[in-house]
Amino acid sequence: MKETTPRNPVTNSGRVLEELEDWLHNLPGTSVDILRLAGLVGPGRHPGRFFAGKTAPDGEHGVNLVPFRRCYWRYHSVLQAPKGGHIYNICAPAHPARNVFYPQMARLLGLEPPQFRNSLDSGKGKIIDGSRICNELGFEIPVSPIRW
């Protein structure tokens, strides 16, 4: 999913974000950049806790994460030198399957690994492409979303 992919939110939170983006882009006399962050991981947000001991759907779907600690200053630099009118996805380029990644992360913490059901669509789910900001602004996102 690229920044130019048509938005089609299916959740209330997705519709609110769509409305907010539209509102920000239509503010008179201003031009803003929007950073769409994937799932944040870092201090206090270890992915091993997200699904530990649970059963969840869509095990084959890819994981979309971004490490907060390793990228914070890069986000800050983008905000300090805005280009205006741009949307950037911020997501690690690796998208391991949920049924591989989350059990591994739970085991690192000594927690019960989650169980995943296969998805009905048997696809990879929504995969976020964060390459635009890397190509345009020299932004670097670690390949591995986690460095412990």
For 130-146, the pLDDT digits (tens) are 999 888 887 777 666 55
Provide the b/e sequence for 17-44 (b: ≥16 CB within 10 Å).
eeeeeeeeeeeeeeeebeebbbebbbee
Residue 131: both structure tokens together: 């390459």
Give the global pTM: 0.84
The count of structural domains within the chain is 1
What single-letter amino acid sits at 86? Answer: H
Is residue 87 domain-resident? yes
Is residue 25 domain-resident? yes
Is residue 102 domain-resident? no
Does the structure show a pLDDT above 80 at 72? no
Is residue 107 domain-resident? no
**Could you tell me the CA-to-CA distances from 85 to 14, 25, 30, 109, 141 in Å, in that order?**
20, 7, 9, 41, 22
User: 119 falls in which pLDDT band (50, 70, 90)?
Assistant: confident
Q: Which residue has the higher pLDDT, 113 or 91?
A: 113
| pLDDT for res 148 | 42
For residue 34, report the phi and psi dihedrals to the nearest 5 degrees. Answer: -115, 130
pLDDT digits (tens, 9 = 90+) for 35-59: 898 998 888 889 999 999 999 999 9
Does the structure show a pLDDT above 70 at 25? yes
Is residue 113 domain-resident? no
Does the structure show a pLDDT above 80 at 123? no
What single-letter amino acid sits at 140? Answer: E
| pLDDT for res 69 | 72
Chain CA centroid to CA 62, Å: 11
Does the structure show a pLDDT above 80 at 33? yes
Domain that holds residue 32: 12-46+61-95+126-137
